[in-house]
Amino acid sequence: MKKVLITGGCGFIGSHTIVDLIEKGYSVLSIDDFSNSHRQVLNAIKKITGQRVQNIEIDLKDAQATAEAFEKFGPFDGIIHFAAYKSVGESVDDPFRYYRNNIYSLINVAEAAVKRGVDRFIFSSSCTVYGDPKEIPVTEDSPLLSASSPYGLTKQVGEKILMDLASTKPGFKAVLLRYFNPAGAHRSALLGEASLRPSTNLVPIICEVASGKRQKLTVYGTDYPTRDGSCVRDYIHIEDLAKAHTGALEYLLDNKPSNQVEVFNLGIGEGITVLEATKAFERVTGLKLNYEIGTRRPGDVPAIFSHYKKAKRVLNWNPKLNIDDIMRTAWNWEQKRF
Ligand SMILES: NC(=O)c1ccc[n+]([C@@H]2O[C@H](COP(=O)([O-])OP(=O)(O)OC[C@H]3O[C@@H](n4cnc5c(N)ncnc54)[C@H](O)[C@@H]3O)[C@@H](O)[C@H]2O)c1
């Protein structure tokens, strides 16, 4: 049985990926300091898969603790590195917190991996690396423009570090996964997005407004050059996204890549405006959302969506769920969530 290290395994994307990996026969170890996740995630994974995942609670900014974890719990056949902070807005307010966590953690994990001979590495990147693209949809070859937030910069730097390692460390291979807008929840409603910090992503905010946890939704800007003036994003269901990680891991472990680094966009290739997303929620749930139109938010680009044909062709990845599935599962989760 192949053993995989998942950093940030108790977070939103990490936990859903663990479920998919277990269902496909992998053994997993998680490292997570619960800085943005709940311990109940481990119980939810057990309820869904029947397996209790071991989590090592250390801060990956601590190089020594990270190295010791590799020594004690390795070797690993591969690593999926999710652990990072993820809010564009927070990163604008407190860039150093983001530089420190996202970049130090990656350096420590990559260094421990190289030292222990773990040479199959998957990195959670983001469509923010494209900045404000001149042409959409973006392909993996679209230029990486100036990042529009410190968060986006940490992802650009992370990608560069891994490209550099791949060209200097023989045998080291990396896959960079550029997510668009992950959303929705597991179909069981046992697992979903449960940040400890106030969410800044649209779908959880919509759900919190509908459940009365927030008074209203603010649509940040309706004066963008888009079809209804609100920002356009590419929402990808979390279960489809999780499957892409298992696909990328299989691709690395089967030694398929001819390049040292491969990059994949993960979205559904469709742009949806913020106002259309709110309508989708109302349509699927029959509820009315209280929202107001606000001003633009720093760090937001007007429109971005993906061209994902490379992931389809190379990883055999076929996202099947759409915005309605996202809203339905997110709402089911919101009503049960921890
Ligand atoms: N969710 C999104 O919208 C989105 C979009 C693009 C990219 N990403 C990237 O995907 C990855 C996972 O995102 P997510 O939505 O699951 O976030 P999340 O916050 O739900 O999960 C991240 C997990 O990492 C843990 N963590 C953070 N810093 C750590 C540290 N120093 N040591 C140990 N554990 C640490 C947190 O406790 C959390 O459980 C991140 O790298 C994020 O930047 C997310």
The per-residue pLDDT for range 250-266, each reduced to its tens digit, is 999 998 888 999 999 99
- Asked if residue 267 lies in contact with residue 308, where contact means CB atoms within 8 angstroms, the answer is yes
Domain count of the fold of the chain: 1
Probe target for ligand 1 pocket from 13, 16, 333, with the most ligand atoms within 8 Å of CB: 13
Q: Could you tell me if residue 171 is inside a domain?
A: yes
Output the CA 223–ligand 1 centroid distance in Å: 31
- In single-letter form, the type of residue at position 73 comes to F
Instruction: Determine if ligand 1 sits within 6 Å of the CB of residue 35.
Output: yes
- Name the one residue in this structure whose structure tokens are 């049960």: 336
Separation CA 300–CA 129 (nearest Å): 13
- What's this model's pTM, rounded to 2 decimal places? 0.98
Residues recognised as catalytic: 151
- Pairing state of beta strands 181-183 and 235-237? parallel
Question: Residue with the nearest Cα to atom 35 of ligand 1?
Answer: 83
- Asked if residue 250 lies in contact with residue 243, where contact means CB atoms within 8 angstroms, the answer is no
Q: Could you tell me if residue 222 is inside a domain?
A: no
Q: Could you tell me if residue 210 is inside a domain?
A: no
DSSP H helical ranges for the chain = 12-23, 40-49, 63-73, 88-93, 95-98, 105-115, 150-168, 202-210, 238-253, 274-285, 309-315, 323-334
Whether the per-residue pLDDT at 299 is higher than 90: the answer is: no
Q: Could you tell me if residue 135 is inside a domain?
A: yes
Output the CA 283–ligand 1 centroid distance in Å: 30
Cβ count within 10 A of residue 12: 26
Q: Out of 104-108, 184-188, 254-258, 304-308, pick the least confident.
A: 254-258
The domain that holds 251 is classified in CATH as: 3.40.50.720
Q: Could you tell me if residue 326 is inside a domain?
A: no
Q: Could you tell me if residue 338 is inside a domain?
A: no
pLDDT of residue 10: 98
Instruction: Determine if ligand 1 sits within 6 Å of the CB of residue 237.
Output: no
Q: Could you tell me if residue 58 is inside a domain?
A: yes
At 43-94, the pLDDT tens digits run 999 999 999 999 999 999 999 999 999 999 999 999 999 999 999 999 999 9
Identify the three-state secondary structure at position 180: coil
Whether the per-residue pLDDT at 123 is higher than 90: the answer is: yes
Output the CA 207–ligand 1 centroid distance in Å: 20
Please give the residue range of the domain that contains residue 125: 3-185+235-268
Probe target for ligand 1 pocket from 5, 60, 86, with the most ligand atoms within 8 Å of CB: 86
Output the CA 158–ligand 1 centroid distance in Å: 14
At 190-243, the pLDDT tens digits run 999 999 999 999 999 999 999 999 999 999 999 999 999 999 999 999 999 999
Instruction: Determine if ligand 1 sits within 6 Å of the CB of residue 103.
Output: no
Q: Could you tell me if residue 169 is inside a domain?
A: yes
At 155-166, the pLDDT tens digits run 999 999 999 999
Identify the three-state secondary structure at position 214: coil
